[in-house]
């Protein structure tokens, strides 16, 4: 919001923010904080709308969409689009899923070994609280019990294409910073490759994550995506 307020070359006429949540108290408190900040810092009108709903109950009637407005969607815990694990741990056949998991998590443990001592508190907590839970779930659970289901970039591409979401280029600045960090801190084992417009981060040749940017071609696909996500 601060960056938008300071943008002088193309100032906004109006900033409308719709927040979706299941707790009316939390959403209302968020709206009050943002409205207070906007009143003190914004050079253009600010409008806040609270939508209290479960994702499965969302419909276009809850949103105030204007065909002349630019729509931006930020959904950190639902879409998880920008950065995802570049591995397939969602195979229905156990051995295929197991093999995909071995390559991914072996690379992650090897990466930790290169950067942190084994008695490092942060490493131990990450291994115990995150990796242990994820690996156990991926390997041992089936059906609704398996909640960690990583798929590769091409699967996300096919899904988003269906809903009119286009892959866009990452900025030259972000790519420069990524290469700079890899060169300075990765012991030569971390490599960055471009897959189309997406940046794939690898450890000793094994893909770990991809970073990407996407945009809606037309606003009507936003409603279709929300209906699909539930």
Q: Domain range holding 57?
A: 2-76
Last residue of a domain, one of 22, 52, 76: 76
Residues 162-195: tens digit of each pLDDT? 877 888 898 888 898 888 888 877 667 889 999 9
Indicate if 159 and 81 belong to the same structural domain: yes
* 97-101, Cβ contacts within 8 angstroms, sequence gap of 24 or more: 97/138, 97/139, 98/139, 101/135, 101/138, 101/139
Q: What is the pLDDT of residue 227?
A: 53
CA dist 215 → 34, 52, 86, 91, 163 (Å): 25, 25, 20, 28, 11
Q: Which of the given ranges, 53-62, 76-85, 93-102, has the highest pLDDT on average?
A: 93-102
Q: Helices 132-140 and 94-115, interaxial angle, to 10°?
A: 170
Q: What is the pLDDT of residue 34?
A: 87
- Is-contact 157 167, C-beta < 8 A? yes
**157 & 212 share domain:** yes
Regarding whether 181 and 81 lie in a shared domain, the answer is: yes
pLDDT digits (tens, 9 = 90+) for 8-28: 777 778 888 898 888 888 889
CB proximity list for 113: less than 8 A, separation 6 or greater: none
Q: 20 with 99, same domain?
A: no
Q: How confident is the model at residue 230 (pLDDT cuts 50, 70, 90)?
A: very low
Q: How many domains does the chain contain in total? A: 3
206-211 and 46-52 beta bridge pairing: unpaired
15 lies in the same domain as 50: yes
Confidence label for 102 from pLDDT (cuts 50, 70 and 90): very high
Identify the domain boundary among 13, 41, 76: 76
The pTM assigned to this predicted structure is: 0.59
pLDDT reported for residue 75: 67
For the four alpha carbons of 188, 184, 107 and 151, in that order, the dihedral sign comes to: negative
């Amino acid at each position: 919001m601060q960056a938008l307020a300071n943008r002088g070359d193309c100032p906004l006429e109006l900033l409308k923010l719709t927040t979706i949540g299941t707790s009316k108290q939390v959403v209302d408190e968020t709206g009050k904080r943002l409205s207070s900040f906007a009143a003190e810092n914004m050079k253009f009108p600010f409008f806040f709308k609270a939508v209290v709903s479960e994702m499965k109950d969302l419909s276009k009637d809850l949103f105030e969409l204007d065909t002349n407005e630019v729509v931006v969607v930020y959904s950190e815990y639902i879409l998880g689009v920008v950065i995802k694990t570049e591995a397939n741990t969602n195979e229905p056949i156990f051995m295929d899923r197991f093999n995909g998991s071995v390559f991914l998590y072996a690379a992650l443990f090897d990466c930790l070994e290169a950067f942190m001592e084994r008695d490092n508190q942060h490493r131990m907590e990450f291994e115990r609280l995150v990796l242990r839970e994820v690996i156990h779930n991926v390997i041992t659970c089936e059906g609704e019990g398996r909640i960690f289901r990583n798929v590769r970039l091409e699967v996300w591409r096919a899904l988003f294409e269906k809903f009119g979401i286009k892959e866009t280029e990452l900025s030259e600045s972000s790519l420069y910073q990524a290469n700079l960090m890899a060169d300075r801190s990765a012991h030569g084992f971390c490599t960055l490759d471009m897959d189309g417009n997406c940046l794939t981060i690898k450890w000793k040749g094994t893909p770990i994550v991809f970073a990407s940017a996407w945009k809606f071609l037309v606003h009507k696909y936003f409603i279709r995506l929300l209906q699909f996500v539930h």
